[in-house]
Every structure is written in C-alpha cells, then in structure tokens.
Structure 1
Amino acid sequence: MDDIKSVNIIKTPYDLDGREIVCYPNLILYAKIKVPRMFMKPRIIYSAITVDLVRGEAALSNMFPEYEPLNIDSSALIKSAISIEKSVAKTEKLLIKWARHKYKIYKVPEIEILKQEKVYKAFFYTEFKDQKLLVDSVKGVETSAM
C-alpha cells in the first residue's frame, strides 16, 4: 500500500496535480548576523540560506521562499543524507566565512537562526520531442536550446 505523507513544497507557478513528480529535500534557514565593528554598534545583517540535504552543500539565498503543504506518496521523496544539526552547522560556517570576506572582520560574528524549515523542491516529468524531461518546478526549463 502507498504511504502518503504531507510535506512542504516550495510554491510553483506550475500545476502539479496529476503529474508524476519527484521531491528534492532542502533546509531553508533565515539568520540574523551581528558583525562587530570597532567603536560602533554591531552591524545587523539578515540572510537566507539553503542547504541541500542530499549533498550537504550550503548556499546563500536571495529570499526565504514561500511554501505550501502537499500530500504525496513517500516513494516520490528523495531521502535526506545529512541531518538537520549538520545542516545548521554548515550554515553557520558559511555565514562566518561570508561575513569575514564581505566585511573584512577577524572576530567571529554572532549568528542567530530565526527561522528554519525543511521544504521540498518539486520536479516533474514532461514530454518534449519524443524525450521525457525532468523539469524544475521553480525555475522551469528552456526548450529553445534543445
């Protein structure tokens, strides 16, 4: 029997009803960073970070995405390879490295995770010129180059 799970899917302009989809796990975090400055108040920076829960890579994001719950068969979910705790540690390491590079500081900045959510990015299959393509539901696909 199929095991149906409710997961958070990043909002997409595509209609996913009735499509064969695959869901890729990500951890989205929103952090507050206090960058120390000599003889002044610390600089406060807010940043969103996306951690790929399969490869374990963290990257700065331009926003914290909107998401919505979706009931999906658990066989369509790609399993996470790293834990949430390791993902948060990778996020903090990335933010420290970024702050040191951007603001030329040597003291470790204070990092506070304000919000975190495990979300899935949906991919769906479509037919194009007798080929079955996997389409990213957030970015889409450019068919003119194929």
Structure 2
Amino acid sequence: MGGIKVKVMRPIFKPEVAESFVLYPYRIYHLRLFYKRLGMKDRVFDYYAYIDLYRLGAERGDDFIDLEEWEVDEKNVMEPLVTEEEARMKAFESAITWGNSRVVSWWLPRIEVIREELAYKVFWVYEEDGKKLIMDSLDGKSYELTGERKCRGFPCR
C-alpha cells in the first residue's frame, strides 16, 4: 500500500518509543504588509500566520517554520475542515489586526503573499506506565488519550 507525500513541521520533541503519529493540518503564510501613511514614511512589515485548519484559529509566528517532506499512510493524516480561502482570509484578518496595532494609517495595508504552505504538526502516540499518551512534537507537552473526552471535568456533549 503506497503512501502520500506531505510537508510536516520539523519535530523538535519525540518520545523514546513512539507507536505511531497523527498529522494535524495547518496552513502557514508569510505575508508582507504595505502601509501608506500621510506625511510620513510608508511602513512595511513581515507577518507569519499559522492557521489551524480544524478550528480556524490563527497564531503569529516569528518566522516560517522548517518543513520536511514525509511519505505517510493516509490514515495518519487528519483532513482539514477549513477551506484554503477561509484560511487565507483568517491569515489576512490576523495580519491586519496585528499590523494596525503597530502603525497609524488611514488605509488598510496592501498584502502580498510571499509564501504559503499546507503543512502538518506531528503528534506522537505512545504508551508510558500503561497509559496511552499523545505528545505535541513542537512543545513536548503530553496528554493522556482516553476513550471519553472531558470538557472542564465533565463529558463533552
């Protein structure tokens, strides 16, 4: 059975023995914002947006994260729930909000997409002390996998 090629955010953390992994979808943008200003020098900012393609959340990055190409089984890849267009609009909205907090301008900025990639964050699945755990490969935090989801101590609806 053949795999598919995907780009993943280069893992920083990995458990000693990982049984498997899950790839969580993001769309990553390097945007350049051009602000016109009355009577003052125009301003240009670079902005890096990481858009969660499951929950449509946006995070600002300091740079474009290193990516690797992996060949994986499709069953390890979570399908995005957010369209490319929705992700791009979220990235622009996030960039404008951030940029407007740094510069005073009468106009919205012109935005240029420098780079855009669909990439996946690796979550390692492993076992420790008889418990199934999942580890975020970028921050090293682990969470217990249970059959029942909990929301603030109560089962989710």
TM-score range, shorter chain: 0.7 to 0.9
Q: Distance in 1 between matches of 2:141 and 2:92?
A: 32
Report what 2:121 is aligned to: 121
Give the direction of change, closer, same or farther, for the CA distance of 1:112–1:57 in structure 2 (3 Å limit): same
| Distance in structure 1 (CA, Å) of the matches to 2:99 and 2:18 | 44
- Report how many residues are paired: 142
- TM normalised by structure 2 equals 0.81
Q: State the distance in 2 between where 1:34 and 1:112 align.
A: 8
Matches within 5 A, 1:1-146: 2=1, 4-14=3-13, 19-141=19-141
Q: Offset of 1:5 from its aligned partner? A: 0.7
Gap change, CA 1:96 and 1:37, over 3 Å in 2: same
**Structure 2 regions of 5+ residues with no counterpart?**
144-157
Tell me how far 1:72 sits from its aligned partner: 0.6
| CA distance in 2 between partners of 1:39 and 1:134 (Å) | 54
TM-score (norm 1): 0.87
Unaligned 5+ segments in structure 1 are none
* Moved >4 Å (runs of 4+): 14-18
State the 1:141 CA deviation.
2.3
C-alpha contact 1:99 1:105 (8 A) present in aligned 2: no
The structural deviation recorded for 1:63 is 1.5
